[in-house]
Structure 1
């Protein structure tokens, strides 16, 4: 009597499934063996080997061996939270340092492009100084005008020696004094700005001379400037 086709087909499928499952297992074992053999000594001094990373040695160095016992690589201990934080901070500092170096290179290249020679730098300095010099001359003229406006007011006060000044005259004198003080402060700031501009251009010129002589952009560090001059108040 011939076998039922349904039964033969079922047995064939079962056999085929077994073959495929065995192939998959063999493939998985091959992948694991390709990873090497992990070996370490745990806290109690016991040597452990495995075909995958060993959890008991997560805080210890693990050696990965080839099938013939030769060393393939060494897996360092997994860092603690504090160690990871320090590693991340170190990496951030390294990134910041690389960015700062790139900025220094870019600034030096821009400086050379802006000032190809000393004459170009001198012209730029004079243009910057002239702007402030114009403001100083304007303040000087304003001070002269305020002085001229004050003279008749001062003359008028002679009529009130030993007497209170009229409110209008008093207010005019106060306004003149305030405007004069403001202009003198402005002139002091403008003169300080002249000093600052010259210091900046002196430092730039020193750097440019070294760059023109062949120094590599970004190799000179930050622009060094002279110490700030003492203010009139501190003197």
Structure 2
């Protein structure tokens, strides 16, 4: 079967289905053909399959509109376009929701600053705990080092060596925790800076959802693990 025959069959089937549509019913079909002729019929007009056709009542009032027939390729293109448009609408609604939620959470700059301080305070507290632990480990190490002096030039006893190694590992672990908290502070600061810039525009009257998205904010880096 030739491509022309297939196309004709598809057109015929489409027109038949459209003619049987209860929404269309019996009426007067009218359209302007590609050559400028105005055509009228009591059924869908084959010459206007690529154009919109008006369906009129007997008194000339418009009952409905028959859209152009789309080939399978055109239908696939239209469906893809419709899906993209739907995705864009959902993204826009989500942007509006996010901006409104942000404004509800932080109605003033002072409220936003309090939240920033609280988030940074948690990270700073964790750093101070690790710093105190490193100091304690330093105190614990002194008697171990003094004892090791007696074995200078000789192998250390297994228990003493194990205690020194454990002390070293403890210090390294706390140093890693401190570096992780420093990275967390950078992430928190970057996030709150981006939010504040957006909030200032929203507080000044910008329409929610009208600005570009905040973008992918930096996430916490995977925790660093001590080297062994």
Tell whether the structures are fold-level matches, with TM greater than 0.5. Answer: yes
Structure-2 change in CA distance of 1:215 and 1:161 (3 Å): same
Choose the corresponding residue for 1:36, options 29, 38, 42.
29
Q: How does 1:126-145 map to 2 (within 5 A)?
A: 126-145=117-136
Matched, 1:78 2:70: yes
Q: How does 1:130-169 map to 2 (within 5 A)?
A: 130-169=121-160
Q: Which runs of 5+ in 1 are unaligned?
A: 1-30, 42-48
State the partner residue of 1:95: 86
Displacement of 1:196 in angstroms is: 1.5
State the partner residue of 1:119: 110
Q: Which runs of 5+ in 2 are unaligned?
A: 1-24, 35-39
Q: Helix, strand or coil: the match of 1:206?
A: helix
Structure-2 change in CA distance of 1:156 and 1:76 (3 Å): same
Displacement of 1:64 in angstroms is: 6.7
Choose the corresponding residue for 1:106, options 75, 97, 112.
97
Choose the corresponding residue for 2:192, options 186, 201, 214.
201
State the partner residue of 1:7: none
Matched, 1:186 2:177: yes
Structure showing greater Rg: 1
Structure-2 change in CA distance of 1:208 and 1:187 (3 Å): same
Displacement of 1:161 in angstroms is: 2.2
Conserved? CA contact 1:115–1:121, under 8 Å: yes
Distance of 1:113 and 1:37 partners within structure 2? 55
> TM-score normalised to the size of structure 1?
0.66
